[in-house]
Structure formats: C-alpha cells, structure tokens
Amino acid sequence: MSDTVEDVDLPYDEDVSSEQEKISALRERLEVLESQNEEMRDQLLDANAENNKYQQKLERLTHENKKLKQSPLFVATVQEIADEGVVIKQHGNNQEALTEVTEEMREELEPDSRVAVNNSLSIVKRLDNETDVRARVMQVEHSPDVTYADIGGLEEQMQEVRETVEMPLDRPEMFEQVGIQPPSGVLLYGPPGTGKTMLAKAVANQTDATFIKMAGSELVHKFIGEGAKLVRDLFEVARENEPAVLFIDEIDAIASKRTDSKTSGDAEVQRTMMQLLSEMDGFEDRGEVRIIAATNRFDMLDEAILRPGRFDRLIEIPKPDEEGREVIFQIHTRKMNVDVDVDFAELADLTGEASGADIKAMCTEAGMFAIRDDRTEVYMQDFLDAYEKISQTGDDDPDEALAFA
C-alpha cells in the first residue's frame, strides 16, 4: 500500500470537528469499509466457485476429447458440403449420412475428402491427403528396368503387344495420318507367373513411359467403398504422367461375370467396374496412355469388358514350351556363377509344367544349395535338388503355385 495518512480523504473537517465528531465519523467510515470488504469477499467466493465449475467442465471435455480420439473411428468420404451439414458416405457399408461439423472443420473439407468419423458419425478429423491411398494402392515406376531381353519364350506375344501398345505410344502420328484409332486396351490372360507383368513393364521401359500398376483384388478388398474413386484416380494419375502404361492386374476381381446375389459387396464391385468401363470408353482422345490388363481367370470375365473399343486385343500368355523354358533358364542364370556342365536343355525337358516364375524360383533354390554346401559355383546337381525340393513343396497343398511336379 502506498497511501499515506496525508493522501487519505478523511470523513471529517480537521479544523472544526471535535474529537468526538472525528471518532464517530471514522466509525461510520469503518462500517462502510467493512461492509464493502464483505461484499468483495462474497464476490471472490462466487468467482472461485465459478472457476471451479469451469475447471471441472474443462477436465470433462478434455477427457471426452481424448476418449473420442481413442475409440475406433470409421472412415468415410465427404460427398457434399451443404448448408444443413456435411453428407458423408461410410466406407464398408456405403451408407450416406448427413452430419454436423464445426465451422473450423467445415473449412478444411471438400467433396471427396477422406474423414474419420466416430460412432455417432460426427467428423473427428480429416485424413491426410489421398495420395497416401493412391500410393498404397498404385505402384508407379518411371521407365521400369525390365526389357524384352529379360522375357523368355513369348516371341509372338511380345510382337503383338509391341504392335498394339508400343506403336501408338511411339508414333501416335501414324495412326492419325492413316485415320484409325489405335487399339485402346490389351488384355493378357493365362496362368500365374508367366510374364504378364513383365511384358507390361518392358513396354513401359521401351517407350520410356511411366508404369502404373493397380491390382483389381486390392481395389475391391482392401479399399472397400473407394473402388470407383480409385479407378478415377488411376486414370488421372496416368494422364498426369503420360506417356504411361496403365497395368490393371487381376482385372477379374472387378470385372467378373455378374452373380445373382445382391450383397452390398457385389454392388460395390459393380460400381467399380462401371467406373472402369466409363473411363475406358472416354479414353480414346486422352493422349499417350495405354491400358494393359491381366487375368488368370479369363473364363470369369464379364463380356462387357471385352466389347470392341475396350480390350480389343486379347493375348494369351501360356506357360512356356520346352524351348521357352530353356531360354528362361538362361535368362535367370545370367548373373549366376554356373558350372559349364549345367545342361539347360535337360532342365527344360525335366520341368514340363513350369511357369517362368517357377523356373526363377528353381534357379534361386539351386543357388541356395550351393551356398549351403559352401560353394560359389552352382552345379547341375544343385538344379536337380532344387527341382526335387520345389516339386515336393506343393504335395500337401494342391493349390500351391508350383504345379510342375
């Protein structure tokens, strides 16, 4: 307190008041001050009580907020931002809902944003950019390092793929001058591990194009509810990266014959396929992007996908014949330290039903036998042992890939 007696405004006149008057004036002043003090103490108590109340509320909200963030959240996509609220579509069950959001959150959202919602479908947060999803579902490689020389036993098929995919990418003006549309898509079909992916990569390498791969099964099983959007994204990424080879593996997962069941999963697959068809139909004028699809289940495909203008070249990629197998053995042992006695013709003869992938596995296994034996050179016997081992692998499980035993 800096006030001194001189500063205080006294409740009496110093010069005229008697002692008695001074005392009673001071008493009165004291009473007033005491009652003011009382009042202020009451106010302070009230304020403290209020403060306590807010403190408790804050704690409760912090706790709720934490709980909200901890309990499992569902993923949804924003469909529309309307005055009445935000329309979201949940992944998994595809149900649409109108939900409220805070002003701050509303500003962050736009149609197609992916969001996390809680049990009562309130939007809790916006999920980070969708390139994340794209990256997880699409494999993008600029000019992959596979060349035609790495592929064995598919000369005819290679020629056909080159004509239909490579020419339009390399010399688009030829098609323009002749006045025909280049074939829009190529479908490679045949057993697993026969080189379909390799072929698509080799075309991208040869034409210096970006190779973009998406697996049909991932589209419908991993990213439920997002299939159609991801197909849209896929074509967009291709256009952004042209010249591009767009490789859709396991296309049967999205384009199989319609089944009679009407489950929501089927409806979702249908929507994804419709999106694919519409992207392909509108694709002719979209520059230097070529589509290659692959399937092991040609018999399952919906005819809609095979209509002219879509995949109008169907190329069978069979298992290699004996001559092909010999070449594939040579390709996969190029970098191996192989003994001169190794007879690839004999190995090709031995491995009747092997696919290219089986042969590759056998070469690696032969190398492992050499290493186990502490050698750096791989002998014929290693290949024979590898054959033995690999052909036995599938014995217990007839579905196992190695079918050449």
C-alpha closest to that of 316 among 341, 299, 333, 332:
299
3-class secondary structure, 230: helix
Is 197 annotated as ligand-binding? Answer: yes
Nearer to ligand ATP, 228 or 294 (CB): 294
Nearer to ligand ATP, 154 or 277 (CB): 154
Nearer to ligand ATP, 197 or 270 (CB): 197
Q: How far apart are CA 80 and CA 175, in angstroms?
A: 42
Is 221 annotated as ligand-binding? Answer: no
Nearer to ligand ATP, 73 or 387 (CB): 387
Residue 151 CB, shortest distance to ligand ATP, in Å, is 4
Q: Would you say 247 and 292 are in contact if contact means Cβ atoms under 8 Å apart?
A: yes
Structure tokens at 147: 């060349």
Nearer to ligand ATP, 197 or 272 (CB): 197
Residue 199 CB, shortest distance to ligand ATP, in Å, is 7
Is 195 annotated as ligand-binding? Answer: yes
Which residues pair with residue 315 across a beta bridge?
A: 188
Is 198 annotated as ligand-binding? Answer: yes
Is 332 annotated as ligand-binding? Answer: yes
Is 194 annotated as ligand-binding? Answer: yes
**Burial of 71: CB neighbours in 10 Å, binned 0-12, 13-18, 19+:** exposed
Q: Would you say 200 and 294 are in contact if contact means Cβ atoms under 8 Å apart?
A: yes
Nearer to ligand ATP, 11 or 318 (CB): 318
Other Cβ atoms closer than 10 A to 58: 10
Residue 124 CB, shortest distance to ligand ATP, in Å, is 39
Q: How far apart are CA 49 and CA 23, in angstroms?
A: 39
Other Cβ atoms closer than 10 A to 225: 19
Nearer to ligand ATP, 166 or 252 (CB): 252
**Minimal CB distance residue for ligand ATP:** 356
Binding site for ligand ATP (CB under 6 A): 151-154, 192-198, 249, 294, 296, 320, 328, 331, 356-357, 360
Q: Would you say 148 and 201 are in contact if contact means Cβ atoms under 8 Å apart?
A: no
Residue 273 CB, shortest distance to ligand ATP, in Å, is 19
Does the bond joining 183 to the residue before it have cis omega, within 30 degrees of 0?
A: no
Any idea what DSSP says for residue 338?
Answer: B
Residue 141 CB, shortest distance to ligand ATP, in Å, is 13
Is 193 annotated as ligand-binding? Answer: yes
Structure tokens at 357: 């992938």
CA 20 to chain centre: 94
Residue 395 CB, shortest distance to ligand ATP, in Å, is 21
Contacts of 322 (CB under 8 A, 6+ apart): 348, 349
Beta pairing class for 210-215 and 123-126 = unpaired
Residue 132 CB, shortest distance to ligand ATP, in Å, is 25
Bind-site residues for ATP: 193-198, 332
Bind-site residues: 193-198, 332
